[in-house]
Amino acid sequence: CVGIAKLPKETGNFTYDPGFTATASCRSAITYIDGDNGVLLYRGYPIEQLAKHSNFLEVSYLLMHGELPDAKQFSDFEHEVTHHTMIHEALKSFLQGFRHDAHPMAMLAGVISSLSGFYHDGLDIEDPAQRRLAAIRLLAKMPTIAAAAYRYSIGWPMRYPRNNLEYVDRFLHMMFEVPSEPLELPPVAAKALDLLFILHADHEQNASTSTVRLVGSTGANPYACVAAGITALWGPAHGGANEAVLKMLEEIGRPEDVAKAVARAKDKDDSFRLMGFGHRVYKNFDPRATIIRETCHQVLKDLNVDDPLLEVAMRLEEAALKDEYFVQRKLYPNVDFYSGIIYKALGIPTEMFTVMFAIARTAGWVSHWLEQQNDPENKIGRPRQIYTGADSRDYPAKG
């Protein structure tokens, strides 16, 4: 019997950085964040200016191509996206395979992952034209699949995309329209949703985008990469926070119970956290939260919604911003603190909140994937570890 050599405890010099707080995984020219000063730029343009002057599809073009489109480029891009909004008819049966009460994020991840089995002409990732086709398909089909998942969950038949409508309007029609009653949407609804989509479109190397890139680094197809991004987004510490915020506000219930919630969030023996507060990068106000906060009030006013949860949210924000615990740790409201209230006012059910985020973030995911595929420095993502297990040992003799 040959003994096995003992492994040295230290197997090399690695940077130990759990959570990648100080590790850049790539170079990227897409999004810039200055977390200390609350700055967010897409391709150099401040988020505040894009929120004011642009729309989601134009922002998607910007993220993908690096420059804002001129009128002709925008109209061609819109045409291209619109051309791909339909989904393969067999995908309907795929959706129907889910239990009726499946979470729409589970359906979204499953159906997006399955697209590689339906669209084979976007799978040659060596071919720039095919890469672009897959990116456009993802952008175009995501709202169709999201709305179909929602309708399936409530037992309604899927609604085909109405391609004479604009991106966000088309999505709202697919979600809510019923054959007998043409949907009359107040313009503020589509405008608010478009704004939320702009604000959520990209955020550099967040967990879901890093996941897309990690999977992309292996040469996996773009549908698989984006499906992985969707599952990473689902977690409550990331995109699932918008759903968790609303549940938390409902649980708090009354403005007078806000103090109790704040006390619980500070208690280290209690796992309760203030959802919608804190951010890995922003140690100042999240600029997206500042924009959303204003919009939230406007939308509720325009839609004539009197939501007591807004009062709870405002009291919570006020209490946390004055509290030493939150001040010291620089825990400010993040983008998801207010987005859930807007979604609720638009009639979007809570389980769909993270799906909304996924539709918007698709623009960022595909832009990062395209950038990565063009990057000569791209290599398979393969982190190392600090091994803490047993030393090498012999299998025990039996009997």
Interface with ligand ACO includes 293 (CB under 6 A)? no
Q: Is 85 helix (H, G, I), strand (E, B) or coil?
A: coil
Q: How buried is residue 200: exposed, middle or buried, by Cβ count under 10 Å (0-12/13-18/19+)? A: buried
Which residue in 275, 341, 345, 352 binds ligand ACO (CB under 6 A)? Answer: 275
| Total of chain residues touching ligand ACO, rule CB under 6 A | 19
**Taking the complex as a whole, how short is the minimal distance between the CB of residue 395 and ligand ACO, in angstroms?**
40
**Which residue among 194, 202, 323, 336 is the active-site one?**
336
Measured distance CA(334)–CA(290) in Å, rounded: 9
Interface with ligand ACO includes 274 (CB under 6 A)? yes
Measured distance CA(153)–CA(102) in Å, rounded: 7
Read off the tokens for 189: 């609804």
Q: Which stretch binds ligand ACO (CB under 6 A): 104-112, 135-143, 269-277, 298-306?
A: 269-277
**Taking the complex as a whole, how short is the minimal distance between the CB of residue 246 and ligand ACO, in angstroms?**
12
Site string for ligand ACO, 167-206 (x = CB under 6 A): ----------------------------------------
What is the sign of the dihedral through the CA atoms of 316, 318, 320 and 321?
Answer: positive
Q: Which stretch binds ligand ACO (CB under 6 A): 79-87, 164-172, 221-229, 329-337?
A: 329-337
Task: Name the DSSP class of 190.
Answer: H
**Taking the complex as a whole, how short is the minimal distance between the CB of residue 369 and ligand ACO, in angstroms?**
19
**Taking the complex as a whole, how short is the minimal distance between the CB of residue 241 and ligand ACO, in angstroms?**
3
Residues of span 231-260 touching ligand ACO by CB under 6 A: 237-239, 241
Q: Is 26 helix (H, G, I), strand (E, B) or coil?
A: coil
Q: Are 392 and 7 in contact (CB under 8 A)?
A: yes
Interface with ligand ACO includes 368 (CB under 6 A)? no
Q: Which is nearer to ligand ACO, 104 or 239 (CB)?
A: 239
Interface with ligand ACO includes 343 (CB under 6 A)? no
Site string for ligand ACO, 9-28 (x = CB under 6 A): ----------x---------
Q: Give CA angle at 346 (226, 358), nearest 5°.
A: 5
Q: Which is nearer to ligand ACO, 276 or 287 (CB)?
A: 276
Which residue in 329, 347, 374, 386 binds ligand ACO (CB under 6 A)? Answer: 329
Note if 279 is an active site residue: yes
Q: Are 173 and 261 in contact (CB under 8 A)?
A: no
Question: Which position's Cβ is nearest ligand ACO?
Answer: 278
Q: Which is nearer to ligand ACO, 92 or 283 (CB)?
A: 283
**Which residue among 200, 279, 323, 368 is the active-site one?**
279
Count CA atoms closer than 13 A to 238's CA, side-chain side.
20
Q: Is 355 helix (H, G, I), strand (E, B) or coil?
A: helix
Alpha helices in 154-257 (DSSP H): 167-176, 187-200, 207-216, 222-233, 241-252
Q: Is 32 helix (H, G, I), strand (E, B) or coil?
A: strand
Question: In what side-by-side order are the strands of the sheet with 31-34?
Answer: 31-34, 39-42, 45-46
Interface with ligand ACO includes 280 (CB under 6 A)? yes
Which residue in 61, 77, 176, 277 binds ligand ACO (CB under 6 A)? Answer: 277
Q: Is 33 helix (H, G, I), strand (E, B) or coil?
A: strand
Q: Which residues are CB-neighbours of 179 under 8 A, at least 6 positions away? A: none
Q: What are 34's strand-pairing partners?
A: 39
**Taking the complex as a whole, how short is the minimal distance between the CB of residue 261 and ligand ACO, in angstroms?**
10
Residues that bind ligand ACO (CB under 6 A): 19, 237-239, 241, 265, 273-280, 329, 331, 334-336
Q: Please give the positions annotated as active site.
A: 279, 336
